[in-house]
Amino acid sequence: MSRAMEDQAATRRRPAVPILLYHAVTETPGTHIAPFAVPPSAFAQQLDLLLEAGYRCVTFGELVAAEVAGRPLGDPDDGRKTAVITFDDGFADFATAALPALRERSLVSTLYVTTGWLEGGRDRRPGPSDRMLDFAQLPGLLAEGVELGAHSHSHLQMDTLGAAQLRDELVRPKELLEDVLDRPVTTFAYPHGYNGPRVRRATRQAGYENACGVRNVLHCAGEDVFAVSRLMLRRTTTLDELSRWLEDVECRPAGRESWATRGWRAYRRARAVARRRPGSVYA
Ligand SMILES: [Zn+2]
């Protein structure tokens, strides 16, 4: 490659941002969450790998705010590789296992809680057998720099819900969290990552500014801020796999939602109608 071509490639180069998605961090998960629970020792190794690979972490809100302002983090001008660490559901081990490991390494994170699953809340919903965080712990987490977001109230598949229930699953957790945190809650994570144009529109209308899906691909600036891609860490995820995700890869133009994804959503919606209740992994 000539020097001119190298220079041109460097200006075009736009590193992708890994947004990691964790659930429970424990050696003793309940049956349902077991495939997605990472042992504390593996979690610590993964955080060390992230730091060794030269990443700095920001909260999800900070990442999106920089992109909306037209100064995406991780750009060549910015000079540093950026990653985001997120947690879904609100397992109690976030406070006892994940946070101490993050604190030790001065890493920030974003935690999305299912408000109907938390201890100390009103209108509890059926959930995992594992211990969940208590509402009373949330202000303390916020004070430690943890960004808090909503992950619905009942953890249903949002794209199978009717309009009224969809709105309730968006508005109720926002109000409950804002009451306890005494500040606006502007970020949402779709349960199971399931969303579509109707769900994204309702999320925006409910007052959120951005939202996470899953997709298991790296995030690039320019992606819909209401369907941001994350990479799900599982019990079986190896350090080699994580290492491959963390390699400094270039962003490519975003692809459209695949026909397989759309077909799967149509199937789940039809099944929810047939059962006369919304689908959920835990129900
Ligand atoms: Zn979840």
Range 51-75 average pLDDT: 91
Distance 75 CA to ligand 1 centre (A): 30
Distance 118 CA to ligand 1 centre (A): 13
Q: What is the pLDDT of residue 11?
A: 42
Distance 169 CA to ligand 1 centre (A): 13
Could you write out the three-class secondary structure of 230-282?
EEECCCCCCHHHHHHHHCCCECCCCCCCCHHHHHHHHHHHHHHHHHCCCCCCC
Distance 6 CA to ligand 1 centre (A): 43
Look-up of token digits 């270039």: 250
Q: Which residues contact 215 (CB under 8 A, 6 or more apart)?
A: 193, 229, 230
pLDDT tens by residue, 139-176:
999 999 999 999 999 999 999 999 999 999 999 999 99
Distance 91 CA to ligand 1 centre (A): 10
Look-up of token digits 């992606």: 223
Range 268-277 average pLDDT: 69
Distance 171 CA to ligand 1 centre (A): 17
Distance 281 CA to ligand 1 centre (A): 9
DSSP letter for 119, please.
B
Report whether 134 contacts 118 (CB < 8 A).
Answer: yes
pLDDT tens by residue, 207-228:
999 999 999 899 998 899 999 9
Q: What is the pLDDT of residue 206?
A: 98
Strand partners, 187: 210
Q: Please give the Cα distance from 218 to 265 (Å, whole number).
A: 22
Residue 271 pLDDT grade (very low, low, confident, very high; cuts 50, 70, 90): confident
Q: What is the pLDDT of residue 283?
A: 30
Q: What is the pLDDT of residue 282?
A: 46
Distance 27 CA to ligand 1 centre (A): 19
Q: Please give the Cα distance from 87 to 257 (Å, whole number).
A: 24
Residue 276 pLDDT grade (very low, low, confident, very high; cuts 50, 70, 90): low
Range 42-70 average pLDDT: 95
Distance 167 CA to ligand 1 centre (A): 18
Cα dihedral across residues 87, 18, 52, 68: positive or negative = negative
Residue 26 pLDDT grade (very low, low, confident, very high; cuts 50, 70, 90): very high
Distance 257 CA to ligand 1 centre (A): 21
Looking at domain 15-275, which of 3.20.20.370, 3.50.50.60, 3.20.20.60, 3.40.50.261 is its CATH number?
Answer: 3.20.20.370
Range 176-202 average pLDDT: 97
Look-up of token digits 């819909």: 224
User: Longest Cα pair distance anywhere in the chain, in angstroms?
Assistant: 65
